[in-house]
């Protein structure tokens, strides 16, 4: 019985160290005090509760048509001159591109004219995510219409469209980490 308790304690501690390493990788560019706070939430099994209390609102956008309408409304508020040709949820995007959203700009020559198309693909995981996370990823991809690179003007534009962009992006990282933990615990 004592051996079992010792093994259980070792397993619990090694699981905790594994979780801390994983969250440190997930949040590697954040200050150590923030990472410590997150590790405390994880250690006390409070991360899920924190996220559910803060982001408890679901959205009704589950089809590509509804997503196109939603993205178009946001785009028209900030970027009237840019056209969107395709907006859709993509189930392959997370696995293939290791991304949550993609903005593609396709140029084609038709006769003597150059035709350009903008496409936005959003990972299918946002169908079930809280609406704030969907809004954040849409804002991020829309910002790529104007700024192609992740630079200071890009993030300034994101903050212009969504005031608390950085906080929602941080919480999205926590949400994805928490979702990953849940999947690992269920297997």
Cα–Cα distances in angstroms (integers) from residue 129 to residues 48, 77, 124, 137, 183, in the given order: 13, 23, 9, 11, 15
126-169 residue pLDDT tens: 999 999 999 999 999 999 989 989 999 999 999 999 999 999 99
Angle at 95 between CA 73 and CA 69, to 5 degrees: 10
Q: Which residues pair with 87 in a beta bridge?
A: 120
Q: Name the pLDDT band for 182 (thresholds 50, 70, 90).
A: confident
145 and 103 Cβ atoms separated by less than 8 Å: yes
Q: What is the pLDDT of residue 85?
A: 85
Query: Fold for domain 64-174?
Result: Zincin-like (3.30.2010)
3-36 residue pLDDT tens: 443 333 444 443 444 455 566 676 778 888 988 8
CA atoms within 13 A on the CB side of 17: 6
């Amino acid at each position: 019985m004592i051996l079992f308790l010792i093994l259980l304690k070792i397993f619990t501690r090694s699981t905790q160290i594994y979780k801390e390493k994983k969250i440190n990788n997930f949040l590697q560019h954040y200050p150590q005090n923030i990472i410590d706070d997150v590790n405390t939430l994880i250690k006390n099994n409070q991360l899920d509760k924190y996220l559910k209390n803060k982001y408890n609102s679901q959205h009704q956008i589950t089809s590509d048509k509804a997503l196109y309408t939603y993205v178009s409304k946001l785009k028209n508020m900030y970027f009237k001159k840019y056209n969107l040709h395709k907006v859709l949820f993509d189930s392959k995007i997370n696995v293939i591109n290791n991304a949550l959203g993609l903005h593609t700009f396709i140029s084609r020559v038709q006769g003597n004219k150059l035709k350009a198309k903008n496409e936005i693909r959003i990972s299918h995981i946002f169908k079930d995510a809280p609406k704030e996370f969907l809004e954040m990823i849409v804002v991020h991809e829309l910002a790529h219409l104007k700024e192609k690179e992740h630079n200071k003007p890009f993030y300034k534009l994101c903050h212009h469209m969504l005031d608390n962009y950085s906080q929602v992006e941080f919480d999205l990282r926590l949400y994805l980490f928490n979702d990953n933990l849940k999947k690992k615990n269920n297997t």
